[in-house]
């Protein structure tokens, strides 16, 4: 199982990550599609080849083709949106906020899966990419749809752990060279 491979690859000093990886994925109460879409989107967002190689096959096996594509779409569109909206937010000139974005993001309107899953995946990717404006926007949509705070937090816990595992494994790979 990919989870076991990742956990065994982590160094002893990252024992907390081993435990957290097992709990946020292995013991998650999220429905399978929600869980594995979050895992796949976050693995892509982590930019860690090792994490993506290990988790993608299991995500593919646990997702219907349209959910697999939608999770990848969430990672792709949020990679763009997180940079754009984070930058616009960080600029001290508020006039940028009134300008039309002019970027295509049609997949958000029609992701091919349940809207709340796509929003949760987008929120998780936004957590990895650190876009506060996107986090607020997706969290508000989820809460209005009736998603509880515990579910929202579960998504960004998955994001945090996958990102940390990727960072640690990539650092160890560089140090081993």
Q: Where in the sequence numbering do the catalytic residues fall?
A: 131, 134
CB 84 within 8 A of CB 103: yes
Q: How far apart are CA 147 and CA 111, in angstroms?
A: 18
- DSSP three-state, residue 89: helix
Strands (E), 23-145: none
Using CA of residue 104, residue 145, residue 60, residue 172, what is the dihedral sign?
Answer: positive
Q: Which residues of 88-126 are buried (b: 16+ CB within 10 A; e: fewer)?
A: beeeeeeeeeeeeeeeeeebbeebebbeebbbbbbbbbb
Q: How far apart are CA 125 and CA 84, in angstroms?
A: 14
CB 45 within 8 A of CB 79: yes
């Amino acid at each position: 199982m990919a989870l076991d491979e990742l956990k065994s690859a982590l160094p002893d000093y990252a024992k907390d990550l081993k435990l957290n990886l097992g709990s946020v994925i292995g013991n998650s109460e999220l429905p399978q599609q929600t869980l594995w879409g979050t895992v796949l989107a976050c693995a892509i967002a982590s930019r860690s080849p090792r994490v993506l190689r290990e988790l993608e096959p299991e995500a593919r096996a646990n997702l219907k083709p349209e959910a697999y594509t939608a999770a990848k779409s969430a990672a792709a569109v949020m990679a763009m949106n997180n940079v754009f909206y984070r930058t616009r937010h960080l600029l001290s000139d508020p006039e940028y906020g009134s300008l039309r974005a002019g970027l295509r993001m049609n997949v958000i309107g029609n992701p091919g899966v349940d809207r709340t899953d796509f929003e949760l995946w987008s929120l998780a990717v936004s957590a990895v990419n650190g876009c506060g404006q996107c986090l607020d926007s997706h969290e508000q949509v989820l809460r209005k749809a009736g998603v509880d705070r515990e579910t929202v937090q579960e998504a960004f816990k998955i994001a945090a752990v996958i990102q940390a595992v990727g960072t640690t494994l990539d650092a160890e790979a560089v140090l081993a060279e």
